[in-house]
Amino acid sequence: MNFTKNNYRNNTLLAMAVTLVLSVSLTGCNDKADVQQLPQRKYQLVWSDEFDSVAGASPNVKKWSFQLGNNNGWGNAEYEIYTNKTANVSTDGSGNLAITATKVAPTASNPYATYYSGRIITKGLFTQTYGRYEARIKLPYGPGIWPAFWMLGANDSIGWPNCGEIDIMELNGSKPTIINGSVHGPGYSGGSAITKSFGLTNARFDTNFHVFAIEWGKDYIDYFVDNVLYEEITPTNVTGKGNWVFNDHPFYILLNLAVGGNYVTGPSDQTPFPQTMLVDYVRVYQEVK
Amino acid sequence: MKNINFHNKIATLIFSLIFVVSCSERNVDNLALATYPTTPEVFIDGFSTGLNFSAWGKVTNFSVDYVEKYSGTASMKFEVPNFGDPAGNAAGGVFITSNPRDLSSYNVLTFWAKASQVDTITKVGFGSSQLNGATDETYKVTVNNLVLTTTWTKYYIPIPDGSKLTQAKGMFYYWADPRDGGKGFTFWIDELKYENLGTIAHASSAVFSGKDVVYNNVETGDYQIPDLSGTFNLPTGINQSETFTASYLTLNSTNPGVATVDKPGKYTVINAGSTLITAKLAGNNVQGTVLVNSIGAPVLPTTALTANTTAYTVANVKSIYSDSYTNAVIDSYEPFWTWTGGGMTTNYLVYSISGNHYIRYTNFSDIYNQKGILVAISFETIPVDISAMTTFHMDVFVPATSPNVTNKPTITLEDWSGNYGGTNSSGSYTSSTPLATGSWVSLDIPLLSFTGLTGKSHLVHIVLNNFPTVICVDNIYFHK
From residue B284, alpha-carbon distances to A34, A278, B160, B212 in Å are 41, 21, 11, 17
Q: How far is A130 from chain B (nearest CA, A)?
A: 35
In the set A78, A80, A134, A165, the catalytic residue is A165
* CB-CB under 8 Å, B233 with A272: yes
Number of Cβ within 10 Å of residue A279's Cβ equals 27
Which pTM does this prediction carry? 0.81
Query: Tens digit of pLDDT for each residue in A227-263?
Result: 999 999 999 999 999 999 999 899 999 999 999 999 8
Contacts of A202 (CB under 8 A, 6+ apart): B197, B198, B199
Residues of B in contact with A176 (CB under 8 A): 199, 201, 233, 235, 237
How far does Cα B383 stand from its chain's mean position? 25
A65 and A82 in contact (C-beta within 8 Å)? no
Return d(Cα B200, Cα B242) in angstroms, integer.
Answer: 14
More confident residue, A44 or A31: A44
Q: What is the mean pLDDT of residues A261-273?
A: 92
Q: How many CB pairs under 8 A join A and B?
A: 51
Nearest CB among A145, A177, A272 relative to B235 is that of: A177
pLDDT of residue A184: 97
Query: Tens digit of pLDDT for each residue in B171-181?
Result: 999 999 987 77
Return d(Cα B293, Cα B308) in angstroms, integer.
Answer: 39
B237 and B316 in contact (C-beta within 8 Å)? no
Which residue does chain B place closest to A143, by CA atoms? B237
Return d(Cα B443, Cα A227) in angstroms, integer.
Answer: 81
User: Is the CB of residue A177 less than 8 Å away from at least one CB of chain B?
Assistant: yes
pLDDT > 90 in chain A, percent: 80
Query: Tens digit of pLDDT for each residue in A206-218?
Result: 999 999 999 999 9
User: Is the CB of residue B239 less than 8 Å away from at least one CB of chain A?
Assistant: yes
* CB-CB under 8 Å, A270 with B239: yes
Residues of A in contact with B237 (CB under 8 A): 141-143, 145, 173-176, 271
Task: Assign B375 a pLDDT band (cuts: 50, 70, 90).
Answer: very high
A126 phi and psi angles, rounded to 5 deg: -155, 125
Return d(Cα B176, Cα B90) in angstroms, integer.
Answer: 6
Return d(Cα B444, Cα B439) in angstroms, integer.
Answer: 16
Which residue does chain A place closest to B201, by CA atoms? A207
Contacts of A175 (CB under 8 A, 6+ apart): B236, B237
From residue B334, alpha-carbon distances to B363, B424, B440 in Å are 12, 22, 22
Amino acid (one-letter) located at B228: L
* CB-CB under 8 Å, B237 with A143: yes
Residue of A171, A202, A205, A278 for testing the chain B interface, max B β-carbons within 10 Å: A202
The mean of the pLDDT values for chain A is 89
Return d(Cα B263, Cα B269) in angstroms, integer.
Answer: 12
Query: Tens digit of pLDDT for each residue in B263-300?
Result: 999 999 999 999 999 999 999 999 999 999 999 999 99
User: Is the CB of residue A147 less than 8 Å away from at least one CB of chain B?
Assistant: no
Nearest CB among A177, A270, A271 relative to B199 is that of: A177
* A122 Rama sector, left if φ>0, alpha if ψ -120 to 50, beta otherwise: alpha
pLDDT of residue A250: 98
Residue of A204, A206, A259, A275 for testing the chain B interface, max B β-carbons within 10 Å: A204
B178 phi and psi angles, rounded to 5 deg: -60, 150
Q: Which of A44, A53, A117, A51 is nearest to A282 (CA)?
A: A51
More confident residue, B365 or A157: A157
Task: Assign B188 a pLDDT band (cuts: 50, 70, 90).
Answer: very high
Q: Which of B105, B91, B84, B107 is nearest to B187 (CA)?
A: B91
Which residue does chain A place closest to B204, by CA atoms? A272
pLDDT of residue B18: 37
pLDDT > 70 in chain A, percent: 87
pLDDT at B1 > cutoff 50 = no
Task: Assign A36 a pLDDT band (cuts: 50, 70, 90).
Answer: low
Is A165 an annotated catalytic residue? Answer: yes
Query: Tens digit of pLDDT for each residue in B127-170?
Result: 998 655 678 899 999 999 999 999 999 999 999 999 999 999 99
Is A78 an annotated catalytic residue? Answer: no
Return d(Cα A97, Cα A134) in angstroms, integer.
Answer: 15
Q: How far is A265 from chain B (nearest CA, A)?
A: 13
Return d(Cα B342, Cα B227) in angstroms, integer.
Answer: 12
Q: What is the mean pLDDT of residues A168-197?
A: 96
* CB-CB under 8 Å, A141 with B199: no
Where do the domains of chain B lie, and which CATH numbers do they carry?
Answer: 2-195 (2.60.120.430), 204-296 (2.60.40), 307-479 (2.60.120)
User: Is the CB of residue B235 less than 8 Å away from at least one CB of chain A?
Assistant: yes
Q: How far is A140 from chain B (nearest CA, A)?
A: 9
Q: What is the mean pLDDT of residues B68-86?
A: 94
DSSP strand pairing (B51-57 vs B18-19): antiparallel
Query: Tens digit of pLDDT for each residue in B197-224?
Result: 999 999 999 998 899 999 999 999 999 8
From residue B438, alpha-carbon distances to B216, B301, B360, B402 in Å are 18, 8, 14, 10
* CB-CB under 8 Å, B233 with A142: yes
B350 and B437 in contact (C-beta within 8 Å)? no
Nearest CB among B198, B202, B233 relative to A202 is that of: B198
* CB-CB under 8 Å, B201 with A207: yes
